[in-house]
Structure 1
Amino acid sequence: MPENPAPPSIITRSGLTFEVWEGPFVRRRFAALSEENTTSLRTLLECLRQIQNPGLETVTAIGEDAQGIYTDTEMPLPETLADALREGPLTIPEFDHLARALLNALIPAHEATLVHGALRPDYIFIDRSTPGGWSVKVMGYGASFYQPEGEIDPAIYRCSAPEQWTQGTVGRRTDNYALGCVLFEALAGRPAFAARGLKEMRMKHVEHDVKHLSALAPHAPSWMTEWVMAMMSQDSENRPRHAAGAMESFNAWAEYAQQQQQQPPPMAPSGLVHSTTYAVVPQPQPIQVTARLVPTPEPERILTAVAIAEDDTPVARRISSTIAPVRASSAVRPVPSSKPMPSAPSAPADAKPGLLRSLPPTAIIAAIALLAIIGTLIMRSGGESDSGPATLSVVDGLILHLDADNASSITKKISGQVSNWADADGRKISAAQNNEDQMPLHAPRGLNGRYVVDFGEQGSGRWLEFRDASGQPKKLTTIRTAFWVLRGYGFLLSDAETTTFHRQSSDSAATDMIWDSGGASDSVKKGATWLNGKSVDGTKTGLPAGFSIVSLVTTAAADAGRLCRDRTNTKRTGGQHIAEILLYDRELTDKERQSVERYLKQKWLP
């Protein structure tokens, strides 16, 4: 500080007080605390001083005078994230830049076991005029030591984790929860939690009373909203341990989404029951709304003028044009029409005869006969059609049902990695993995707008083991009929000891023969195999490059205890994308088999 300086000017931002002296020389002032808290505050600030990360509050020196503790720092950036969000939600490029900047700032802090404890948009200072992207700096370290005076605005606690309310504890997972709330607000343009008082705010956090981000940010890709919601998990154990883990999961999801967009449409598999339409990234059925769109210099290929209806039946393909992301006040919202709806037209005075009345009698008889033939064919096929929701009607003898699109049966980490894939119908058996490095990924929009379980590349080391209700390994030994919706490498089912479902040259090509003529058991290779409803010789027929429905009726009971791992062969791990598996302990009739195939086709390959 210069000698005999002039009195400083005072800047107060988000409750933080800065003295700006000549030079300029800036100090941040801290109000007086108890002796114990003063010691803790000095320890925190000393740790912050040693980190010296451009994304974190700068501390060049720490001192104390008659007014209390202070730090020598830099001039604060011109505005806060809270200021920017008053203009509206961020675009996807802005969000991506902000999320990465905040994670990169918190990573060294968490590595030094330094916890913020009070992170919210008011403490994220930004400069939007910086060439090449916003400058972002996390401020407010030490704010958690202070209680606000006077009437308390509950909004200052809108990013406080449940454990802060119930236990008064903070940790790195607490920071990740707060960061999730910050990023929720950045995409939605409004806080995740809003309340009129502290009691209501506490209840909303503790009971996790929050609307899913996808409903408030339709311009954001589904993986991004899922990642934010996972960061805000009510149970701290379901959040990443630290910022580095959060960054790893963010990068993994972004990379996966990019790969899905760049993949060419797979070749249509041979022997389809009916024609199939493929899409690289299927889109959910939209609800059309009107939106005002503000163009940006680098528009992205994203949906901005539709609101996704989660409960609607997905469609196989949807084409989206290149549209600029929604920004500022241009949030997507329905625009009501000012014009009254036209009333139904009244019937004309002289109604024209209907179609049947205008036809000659012979044509009417022919039409009736044709309808009768169609009805007979439907009855012979089991009385089912491909219209309406897909329903599984054959459940007798079903011993395991794994459905990747059944959210309630999937337990996953923040990164989307699956630790437990339970039976979709509540049977006391699941496919599980304890080692996080060996867990597959629960991938959104993997097939027909639905989730699939992605085991990674061949040799990825990702696999699952069948387990009983107590978590012990469970080997199925009575498999007689099996169905798969999948693509990729490796055994369709595997085990720690046997090679019952051995795939021909399973570690060389994803399109190898379904069964190995030598290694597979006789009960499998001599059984009856169907590929997309067409009877095939599994030892001479390879899987297509795209997703397929494989059906098998064995000649005797077959066994399996794993997915995507052949004994101890590390080369034969992973490699598959699995949508659904059904295993029965009895031989299904042709009629029953065809019914299950129709269900799977209608659901996954319509």
Structure 2
Amino acid sequence: MQNLRDLTVTDIARSPGTSIPCLIGEPLSVGSILGGRYRIMRFVAAGGMGEVYVADDQLLGDPVAVKLLRTDLIRKPGAQARFADEIRLARRVTHPNVCRVFDVGTDGERVFYTMEMHEGRTLKSYLCDTGPLTIGQAQPILRQLLDGISAAHAVDVVHADLKPSNVLIDAKGRVLITDFGLALPCCATLGCGCDMPHLVGTPAYMAPEQVTGGTVGDGTDLFAFGVIVYELLTGQLPWQGANAFELAHARLTGDTPSIRTLRPEIDATWDETVRTLLTVDQGVRPKSAKWVANALGLTH
């Protein structure tokens, strides 16, 4: 079965067999200058939205991370303006557990944005190496994750694509949420014409309102947080599907899963809280990240 954890709706809409690199353009070479300001130092990784490089900001003399966005996304009518608006919102989030967004720029047809440079690994990579965690192992990660979510919601910013591959852990155990402002829609209004015109994000972690085209809010991120908690403690996703479409819709029709089905030793309060986070009705979910932190005993 296809690994569906990080398959985004923009990946689904892309023609089968189309690779990411050809949608980026020519790779940036070490030493090249991007946007007249950023000297490329090294390539880091490629993902569903584009490629990441380490660069030297020649104006300020500091290292930054540069995310070069896929051209097929940016060329859609209205996409660049929407992306710039999202980045402007994301810049409002300043917190030790959020990777700070600096700027958005262009270089010819290339569109990129810059953010804080942090060395570390993704939560996805960490979980692949460790397997399911105990509550004690998960607590410091989840506490910081909730702190970052709370900081974003405090300034009316919703991530809308929270998932383990968008969470970094540095060598000291500091957790940072990345990619605020990058939950771009695969949307008919942007000229995509795919079979799921309203979807934004990653089906494995999507809230029901994202699947149905409803209103995205703080509860959307809290739902994704619930999926992450479930995955950290069980090593599995709460719902299964043969493909991304089945996986996205399973949360609309299936029962809210219990962690204790797979891990009966897990504290009942944790199980109940996660099940509440994963409810279909956004109005029934916890109202804030701080509420969740209190319920899980993750307050400082």
- Asked if these proteins are the same fold (TM beyond 0.5), I'd say yes
Partner SS state of residue 101, structure 2: coil
What's the counterpart of residue 110 of structure 1?
Answer: 153
Cross-structure match for 2:44: 11
**Residue correspondence of structure 1 range 129-168 to structure 2 within 5 A:** 129-130=171-172, 134-147=173-186, 156-168=202-214
**2:143 alignment partner AA:** R
Deviations 1:340-390 (A, max 9, x none): xxxxxxxxxxxxxxxxxxxxxxxxxxxxxxxxxxxxxxxxxxxxxxxxxxx
Report the alpha carbon displacement of residue 159 of structure 1 after superposing the two structures with TM. Answer: 1.0
| Partners of 1:120 and 1:61 in 2: CA distance | 23
Which structure has more strand as a fraction of its residues?
Answer: 1
Greater CA deviation, 76-85 or 29-38? 29-38
Whether 1:82 and 2:128 are equivalent positions in the alignment is: no
How far 1:102 sits from its partner (Å)?
Answer: 0.8
Give distance in 2, aligned partners of 1:76 and 1:33.
Answer: 29
- The structural deviation recorded for 1:101 is 0.6
- The answer to whether residue 140 in structure 2 is matched with residue 94 in structure 1 is no
Distance change (3 Å), C-alpha of 1:33 and 1:236: farther
Superposed, which structure 2 residues align to 1:467-482 within 5 Å?
A: none
Judging changes above 3 Å, is the alpha-carbon distance between structure 1 residues 68 and 209 closer, same or farther for their aligned structure 2 residues? farther
Identity of counterpart residues, as a percentage? 23
- Determine if contact 1:62/1:69 at 8 Å carries over to the other structure: yes
The 3-state SS of whatever aligns with 1:143 is: coil
Max Rg structure: 1
Among candidates 85, 95, 117, match of residue 43 of structure 1:
85
Change (3 A) 1:144 1:48: closer
* 1:174 paired residue number: 220
Within 5 Å, which residues of 2 pair with 1:421-500? none
User: Which of residues 96, 104, 108 is equivalent to 1:54?
Assistant: 96
Q: 1:6 to 1:48 in 2, by over 3 A?
A: closer
Kindly indicate whether structure 1 or structure 2 has the higher relative contact order, using CA contacts under 8 Å at least 6 residues apart: 2
Q: Is the 8 A contact 2:67 2:112 kept in 1?
A: yes
**C-alpha contact 2:38 2:55 (8 A) present in aligned 1:** yes
Q: Given the alignment of the two structures, is residue 230 of structure 1 paired with residue 276 of structure 2, yes or no?
A: yes
Kept in 1, the 8 Å contact 2:86–2:182? The answer is no
Alpha-carbon shift at residue 41 of structure 1 (Å): 2.0
- Tell me, in whole angstroms, the C-alpha distance in 1 between the residues paired with 2:141 and 2:119: 15
> Deviation at 1:35?
4.6
Q: Secondary structure at the match of 1:101?
A: helix
The aligned counterpart of 1:63 is 105
* Preserved contact between residue 44 and residue 114 of structure 1 (Cα < 8 Å): no
Aligned to 1:20: 54
The SS at the match of 1:236 is coil
Task: Find the aligned partners of 2:37 and 2:178 in 1 and give their Cα distance.
Answer: 29
Q: Secondary structure at the match of 2:78?
A: helix
- Report the Cα offset of residue 147 of structure 1: 4.2
Q: Name which of 194, 218, 234 aligns with 1:188.
A: 234
Change (3 A) 1:176 1:57: same
Q: How does 1:303-382 map to 2 (within 5 A)?
A: none
- Structure 2: give runs of 5+ residues left out of the alignment: 1-32, 57-61
Q: Give, in angstroms, the shift of residue 138 of structure 1.
A: 0.9
Secondary structure at the residue paired with 1:229?
helix
Residue 119 (str. 1) matches residue 162 (str. 2): yes
Opposite residue 123 of structure 2, the aligned amino acid is L
**CA, structure 1 residues 25+115, in 2 after alignment: closer, same or farther (shift >3 Å)?**
closer
Once residues 104 and 278 of structure 2 are traced to their aligned partners in structure 1, the CA distance between those partners, rounded to angstroms, is 34
Alpha carbons of structure 1 residues 66 and 231: separation in structure 2 relative to 1, 3 Å: same
Distance 1:228 1:4, change over 3 A: closer
Cα distance in 2, alignment partners of residues 26 and 203 from structure 1: 35
Structure 1: gaps spanning 5 or more residues? 256-606
User: 1:33, CA displacement in angstroms?
Assistant: 4.5
Structure 1 Cα separation of the partners of residues 105 and 150 of structure 2:
26
How many residue pairs get matched? 246
User: Per the alignment, do residues 48 and 142 of structure 1 end up closer, same or farther by CA in structure 2, a change over 3 Å counting?
Assistant: closer
Partners of 2:38 and 2:277 in 1: CA distance: 47
Mapped contact 1:14–1:123 kept (Cα < 8 A):
no
SS state at 1:193 partner: coil
Counterpart Cα distance in 1 of 2:76 and 2:155: 25
Moved over 4 A (4+): 1-8, 146-150
* Matched-pair contact (CA < 8 Å) for 1:14–1:122: no
Scaled by the length of structure 2, the TM-score of the pair is 0.72
Cα distance in 1 for partners of 2:257, 2:231 equals 12
Give the aligned residue type for 2:141. L
Once superposed, what is the RMSD of the aligned Cα atoms? 3.0
Kindly state the Cα deviation for residue 36 of structure 1 after the two structures are TM-superposed. 2.8
The corresponding residue for 1:589 is none
Partner letter of residue 122 of structure 2? T
Q: Is the 8 A contact 2:152 2:158 kept in 1?
A: yes
CA distance in 2, matches of 1:89, 1:5: 40
- Give SS of 1:238's match: coil
Deviation at 1:53, TM superposition (A): 1.3
C-alpha deviation, 1:8, in angstroms: 4.2
Q: For residues 83 and 36 of structure 1, do their structure 2 counterparts lie closer, same or farther at Cα, with a shift above 3 Å needed? A: same
Counterpart position of 1:298: none
d(CA) in 1 for partners of 2:100, 2:216:
22
TM-superposed CA distance for 1:88, in Å, is 0.8
Q: CA–CA distance in 1 between the matches of 2:208 and 2:38?
A: 47
